[in-house]
Amino acid sequence: MIVWENMSSQTAKAPQTRFRKRDLFYLMPLWLISLIAPDPYLYHKKEFKKKELFYLAAICFAPLIWSDSHFHHLMVLAGIYAILALGLSLFMGYAGQISLGHAAFFGIGAYTTAILTTRYAVPTFLAFWASALSAALIAHLIGRPILKLKGYFLALATLGFGEIFLVIVRESTSLTGGVIGIFGIPWFSVMGFSFDTYLKQYYLAWGMVTGLFIFSKNLVRSKVGRALLAVGASEDAASSVGINVSKTKLEIFDLGAAFAGWAGSLFACIMSTASPEAFSLGFTILIVMMVILGGMGNLYGPIAGAILLTWLMDILSKYQEYSLPVYSVILILLLIFFPDGVGTRLNVRIIYLIGYWAKKKKRDKGKL
Amino acid sequence: MDLWSYIPQLLFSGLTIGAIYALVALGFVTISRASQIINFAQGEFVMLGGVITYFLLNGAKLPYPLAALIAILIVMLIGFAMHLSILYPLRKASVLILIMATLGASIFLSSTSGLVFGTLPKTLPPFSGGEPLRIGKISFPSQSLWVLLSTFILLIFLYLLSHRTLLGKAMEASSTDPLGADLLGISRNLMVFLAFGVSAGVGAFGGILITPVFFTSYSSGALLGLKGFIAAVLGGWGKNTGAILGGFVLGIVESLSLAFIPSGYKDGVAFVILLFILYFRPKGILGSPFIDSRRW
Amino acid sequence: MALLSTEEIIKEYDGIRALDRISLKVEKGSIKGLIGPNGAGKSTLFHLISGVEKPDSGKIYFKGKEIRFLEPHERSALGIGRTFQTLQVWGNMTVVENIMAGMNRRLKGGYLSCGLRFPWIRKSENEVLKEAKEILDSLGLLGKWESLASQLPYGKQKLLELGRALAMKPELLLLDEPASGLTLAEIEQLSQHITKVRQEGVTVFIVEHHMGMVMEIADEIAVLHNGELIAEGRPEAVRMNPRVIEAYLTRRGGK
């Protein structure tokens, strides 16, 4: 059993349990998740692992294996959120900051694309880049004063910014269509090839995810990544080796916003509408949870978190009005039990849990 | 001309809502002084106060004062439960996790309230009849007077509690110097636990006061909580007096802004004020820097 | 001309003078010690020199330039490196990455070139890795180069911080209590490293409580007490200075 394999390399002694078929059923999905979100402390290993090829293949072939259109739709959304979470994870997980207003950049991207394509007939491909640019620009403007703050104050300031964005969007009806939003955004298209089915959109979104992932990975393994981690761990030490802390923070904030802008643009083209309700605080909470649950400080985390939470939302939506209460309870439980990510040392934790459970059974049996 | 005649009216409604912001802000400061946690679910306590009272009044047909009292007690219990189930397990977690946990709690409370009590906005009967009073050209609901009066009484009560009773002094000690208080045998966790109850109660009280004037529905908690927090930062973070001052200032400024900008932007005013304060004077008006004693 | 000199530095915190008209010089190529009872203001002076805090009045000159108004990272760019009294190793990176990050200032490349991993970035990364490993080797830390910095024992982390400061090839190295928490063997090792560093041309300014170590390696010692400079000179002279002895033996803050 591969579970035992991992265990022998990571813990000293094996728990004395008998493995029943039932346990397999519980463990398999957990083990699969632990594959997806590897131990973040190994992120610095630079070799191109076989695992990454496996993920790439999985992404390429998954929609062909499950050709259910609902699955495709879900994965398209997951891909878009993954882009969003990836950008946010660079800002939060690596540089150690907090942003509770990131949905605003997502919204800026979506609305930029919406306005440009519906009113000025700008081709979606150009609007796509313009979205990222506008998001990054606004991030640059507000980032300068805001990033001087730390901790709760930074969180609050970004939250305030997010709310202001929402208010402005809701009120400027001429520009943004107010509460109703903008309709009729065309499909994303490049040189005549239009992404009009979920399948095509899937490859578009996940192609972007792969590209941005490689880009981020290169960043993280270079001086930029080290500067981010340095600023996240100790700003004083970072400035003592010549790293310009405020510039570093501002730059990564801009990049995170640009990612969000791209994601927003894709979102607008796929949903064909842009309306304010999609960009509220609740959505920001969702994205931040994706970053946290995947494990801060590694790049697989936000992607895994995005997939996980998108599926979760889909499952919960079947429960209608119970969905939010259940969702919030799950969030809180995950925060209490997995604050450093669901995948972190999951295999170790599972082993520990099995061992504990088995010992408990033995104790109970002994008492009888 | 026309604009200026509205000013006194707006001023008064600003005072009224300001009193509520002050109460919410007070709730924030109470918890954060005891535990350096910012409880984003504070606004939900306000909402629950109003909603539960409505339910007890109309559903269980209890007399008004009894319904109010029981509602406050229930919300205090919810506050205690929140501490025990969420914040005690997370007492050593990072700032981000704590923020997310309290946000999660806020979602839970508001959505469950919508589930259990329905999503329609609720209102309560004003304390003393429905006729608006008139002073000169200004007419205002009599409830506003009740709001101001009750807030004043509550503040005196809280002051006496924290300065004249042993328990209150223990809570003050724990928040000013946690280690020292710990060495004297004051259990920090117990103080935080109580702080949650007090904040919840204060919030619920505010909710009952304000529902007759402004409707309360399951979703009004979030915005109220945020504005209360902004009021606390505005007035001077970490101080009770700051919270109260900030609440009134925010209420008045927000209300007066209606004279000058379209009404839809009203909610944005508070956040603009927030950004200004954080940028120019994070200490707030009465200024006392937010010292995170846990981190030291 | 002295490499570093301060003129009449005054720093107050809430009305209490942490530093009262401090003027001292550090000569190029020397090792200067800064000692004094706890709370005398030694770390404050370091914060002022490295830029974390700004003095209320007075001037600071480095290589002849007034650096009072420069940001900390600009001062580092000029050639001031430091270690911290509270260990500030980057625990979220590996040991070798800590050193590599110390060299960031000397590397070229922005978001675009790093993100797309141009060939010259790849080459530069390899060079940086090699150099970082050399630094680790000279400090005896090469064995654990790939482990997470927070997993090193305390003494090794202090050495790592020294290595990181050295990685940016500073001209002036500010060491803030590098020997605190170290065993005697480690302190001996540290002294050897510091003298080796001086041989390579780096000027060292060190705050330290461990008298034996400071007296041994320093060329000159300055003594702070209650924010005042009460003695400055060769170690033997300072050791005999009656004011210094009184400052250490008596607990009263009187002059």
On whether both A228 and A353 belong to a single domain, the answer is no
What's the helix, strand, coil split of chain B in %, to 5?
75, 5, 25
Domain range B2-127+136-290, CATH class = mainly alpha
Report the SS3 class of residue C225: strand
CB-based contact C46:C82 (threshold 8 Å) = yes
Taking 90 as the threshold, does the pLDDT of residue A250 lie above it?
yes
C239 within some domain: yes
| Residues of chain A neighbouring B274 (CB-CB closer than 8 A) | 156-157, 160
> Chain A interface, mutation test: which of B278, B291, B294, most A Cβ atoms within 10 Å?
B278
Q: At C115, is the pLDDT very low, low, confident or very high (cuts 50, 70, 90)? A: confident
What pLDDT does A33 receive? 58
What pLDDT does B78 receive? 93
Taking 60 as the threshold, does the pLDDT of residue A249 lie above it?
yes
A 10 A CB-CB count for B123 gives 15
- Structure tokens of B224? 């109220």
Burial of residue B2 (number of CB atoms within 10 Å: 0-12, 13-18, 19+): exposed
The chains found to touch A (3+ Cβ pairs under 8 angstroms) are: B, C
What pLDDT does C148 receive? 85
Domain ranges across chain B: 2-127+136-290
A166: closest chain B residue by CA: B268
What pLDDT does B217 receive? 82
Partner residue facing A241 (CB), from C71, C121, C164: C164
Query: Rounded to the nearest 5°, which phi and psi values hold at C10?
Result: -125, 130
Contact across the interface for A156 and B233, Cβ inside 8 Å? yes
- Render pLDDT for B143-191 as a digit per residue (tens, 0 to 9): 777 788 888 888 888 888 878 888 878 877 777 777 787 788 878 888 8
C34 within some domain: yes
Beta bridge partners of C61: C5, C66
Q: Is C109 on the interface with A (CB under 8 A)?
A: yes
A45 within some domain: no
The chains found to touch C (3+ Cβ pairs under 8 angstroms) are: A
Interface of B with A (CB under 8 A): 38, 86, 89-90, 93-97, 99-101, 103-105, 107-108, 111-112, 114-115, 222, 226, 229-230, 233, 262, 264-265, 267-268, 271-272, 274-275, 278-279, 282, 290, 292
Taking 80 as the threshold, does the pLDDT of residue B285 lie above it?
no
CA–CA min distance A256, chain C (Å): 12
Binding-face residues of C in 125-144 toward A, CB within 8 A:
125, 128
What pLDDT does B294 receive? 36
CA–CA min distance A329, chain B (Å): 7
What pLDDT does A356 receive? 66
CA–CA min distance A1, chain C (Å): 28
CA–CA min distance A93, chain C (Å): 10
Query: Rounded to the nearest 5°, which phi and psi values hold at C83?
Result: -115, 170
Percent of chain B surpassing pLDDT 70? 90
pLDDT, average across residues C137-164? 88
pLDDT, average across residues B263-280? 84
What pLDDT does A14 receive? 40
Contact across the interface for A328 and B96, Cβ inside 8 Å? no
Contact across the interface for B93 and A325, Cβ inside 8 Å? no
Report the SS3 class of residue C8: strand
Closest to C193 in 3D by CA, of C175, C215, C211, C219: C175
If one counts the domains in chain A, the total is: 2
Q: What is the CA radius of gyration of chain B?
A: 19
On whether both C172 and C125 belong to a single domain, the answer is no
pLDDT, average across residues A319-328? 84
On whether both C82 and C143 belong to a single domain, the answer is no
Taking 50 as the threshold, does the pLDDT of residue A12 lie above it?
no
Taking 90 as the threshold, does the pLDDT of residue A209 lie above it?
yes
A125 within some domain: yes
A55 within some domain: no
CA–CA min distance A64, chain B (Å): 37
Indicate yes or no: pTM above 0.90. Answer: no
pLDDT, average across residues A38-66? 66
Q: At A301, is the pLDDT very low, low, confident or very high (cuts 50, 70, 90)? A: confident
A161 within some domain: yes
CATH classification of the domain holding C177 = 3.40.50.300
Interface of A with B (CB under 8 A): 92, 98, 100, 145-146, 148-149, 151-153, 155-157, 159-161, 163-164, 167-168, 170-171, 281-282, 285, 288-289, 292, 321-322, 324-325, 327-329, 331-332, 335-336, 339
Taking 70 as the threshold, does the pLDDT of residue C253 lie above it?
no
- Structure tokens of A176? 């943004």
Taking 60 as the threshold, does the pLDDT of residue B293 lie above it?
no
Partner residue facing B86 (CB), from A282, A327, A332: A332
On whether both C171 and C225 belong to a single domain, the answer is yes
A101 within some domain: yes
A49 within some domain: no
Taking 50 as the threshold, does the pLDDT of residue B38 lie above it?
yes
Mean residue pLDDT of chain A comes to 80
Q: Are strands C220-225 and C31-35 parallel, antiparallel or unpaired?
A: parallel
- Render pLDDT for B216-265 as a digit per residue (tens, 0 to 9): 888 888 888 888 888 988 887 777 778 888 899 999 998 888 878 887 78
A 10 A CB-CB count for A13 gives 8
Amino acid present at B187? S
Counting CB pairs under 8 A, whether chains A and B reach 3 or more, is: yes
Partner residue facing A325 (CB), from B99, B101, B115: B115
pLDDT, average across residues C2-30? 85
Separation of alpha carbons A107 and A264, rounded Å: 6
On whether both C46 and C104 belong to a single domain, the answer is no
| Residues of chain A neighbouring B275 (CB-CB closer than 8 A) | 145-146, 157, 160-161, 164
On whether both A244 and A129 belong to a single domain, the answer is yes
Helix axes B220-236, B240-257, angle to 10 degrees: 120
A336: closest chain B residue by CA: B90
> Chain A interface, mutation test: which of B100, B109, B281, most A Cβ atoms within 10 Å?
B100
CA–CA min distance C91, chain A (Å): 7
CA–CA min distance C102, chain A (Å): 5
Q: Is C242 on the interface with A (CB under 8 A)?
A: no
| Residues of chain B neighbouring A327 (CB-CB closer than 8 A) | 107
On whether both C174 and C200 belong to a single domain, the answer is yes
Q: At A35, is the pLDDT very low, low, confident or very high (cuts 50, 70, 90)? A: low
Chain centroid to CA C26: how far?
13
Taking 80 as the threshold, does the pLDDT of residue C125 lie above it?
yes
> Chain C interface, mutation test: which of A240, A244, A249, most C Cβ atoms within 10 Å?
A240
On whether both A125 and A88 belong to a single domain, the answer is yes
Report the SS3 class of residue A59: helix
CA–CA min distance A178, chain B (Å): 11
C124: closest chain A residue by CA: A222
CATH classification of the domain holding A259 = 1.10.3470
Q: Is A235 on the interface with C (CB under 8 A)?
A: no
A127 within some domain: yes
A 10 A CB-CB count for B216 gives 27
Report the SS3 class of residue C83: coil
Sign (positive or negative) of CA dihedral B37, B41, B45, B46:
positive
Separation of alpha carbons C55 and C45, rounded Å: 9
Rounded to 5°, angle at Cα B166 from B163 and B167: 95
| Residues of chain C neighbouring A234 (CB-CB closer than 8 A) | 88-90
Higher pLDDT pick, A54 / B105: B105
Taking 50 as the threshold, does the pLDDT of residue A41 lie above it?
no
On whether both C84 and C160 belong to a single domain, the answer is yes
Q: At A43, is the pLDDT very low, low, confident or very high (cuts 50, 70, 90)? A: very low
C13 within some domain: no
pLDDT, average across residues C196-212? 89
Lowest mean pLDDT among A20-29, B45-54, B234-243: A20-29
On whether both A27 and A156 belong to a single domain, the answer is no
Partner residue facing A41 (CB), from C102, C105, C148: C148
pLDDT, average across residues C24-36? 88
On whether both A353 and A328 belong to a single domain, the answer is no
On whether both A329 and A348 belong to a single domain, the answer is no
- Render pLDDT for A144-166 as a digit per residue (tens, 0 to 9): 888 888 888 888 889 888 988 98
If one counts the domains in chain C, the total is: 2
CA–CA min distance A234, chain C (Å): 6
Rounded to 5°, angle at Cα B123 from B120 and B128: 170
What pLDDT does B136 receive? 67
C119 within some domain: yes
A44 within some domain: no
| Residues of chain A neighbouring B99 (CB-CB closer than 8 A) | 98, 100, 152, 155
Separation of alpha carbons A13 and A31, rounded Å: 20
Q: At A264, is the pLDDT very low, low, confident or very high (cuts 50, 70, 90)? A: very high
Mean residue pLDDT of chain B comes to 82
Lowest mean pLDDT among A69-78, A122-131, B276-285: B276-285
Domain assignment of residue C228, given as a range: 26-56+71-89+152-249
On whether both A366 and A271 belong to a single domain, the answer is no
Contact across the interface for C90 and A222, Cβ inside 8 Å? no
A333: closest chain B residue by CA: B86
Q: Is A148 on the interface with C (CB under 8 A)?
A: no
Domain assignment of residue A9, given as a range: 1-37+344-368
Contact across the interface for A167 and B96, Cβ inside 8 Å? no
